Amino acid sequence: MAAPAFNNDDEEKPLDPIVENVRRRMMRLMIISIGVMMIGLMAVLGAIVYKFNTSDDESPKTTVQKKSSLNIDTGYPEGNISLPAGFTIESSSIAGDRILLNVRDGNGMLQIAVFDMLSAKIIAIFPVVNQK
């Protein structure tokens, strides 16, 4: 079997003017929608890059620097812990930005005080009671 011969009569004929109008509108809408999608994609990528770069700059030490005073020589936060009158500190421990103080009041009763370094305030005092 021989391959079909191509005639010049089989060339593409121009589209009807109505179909050509629809094709042009569709192409215009496609170009506009691709442009909007590209702009949206660039905005999302820009936001990701911005968030990635700014999150490294903020560390817990920076937060402490903004809310409490720093010793210029050491770079560590410093301040005073004001206890109620008659309280004495027996021991202390630190976790993050809070200090746990074991204190005795004027009557000799053991209490636990929680000091927040960021606000420079005692945020809680818990009396220790022996149950019988």
36-59 residue pLDDT tens: 999 999 999 999 999 888 865 454
Q: What 3-state DSSP class applies to 116?
A: strand
User: What was the pLDDT predicted at 47?
Assistant: 93
Structural domain count, the chain: 2
User: What was the pLDDT predicted at 51?
Assistant: 87
Q: What is the pTM of this model?
A: 0.42
120 in a structural domain = yes
User: What was the pLDDT predicted at 26?
Assistant: 96
Clarify whether residues 84 and 51 are in a common domain. no
What is the residue range of 35's domain? Answer: 14-55
34 in a structural domain = yes
Tokens matching residue 5: 């011969």
Residues in the chain with pLDDT values less than 50: 57, 59-67
DSSP secondary structure, 44-99, as one string: HHHHHHHHHHHHTT--HHHHHHHHS-B-TTT--B-----PPTT-EEEEEEEETTEE
21 in a structural domain = yes
User: What was the pLDDT predicted at 62?
Assistant: 41
Q: Are strands 98-104 and 121-127 parallel, antiparallel or unpaired?
A: unpaired
41 in a structural domain = yes
Look over the chain and give the mean of its residue pLDDT values, rounded to a whole number.
Answer: 79
User: What was the pLDDT predicted at 10?
Assistant: 61
Clarify whether residues 88 and 123 are in a common domain. yes
Residue with tokens 């620097």: 65
Clarify whether residues 86 and 48 are in a common domain. no
User: What was the pLDDT predicted at 87?
Assistant: 82
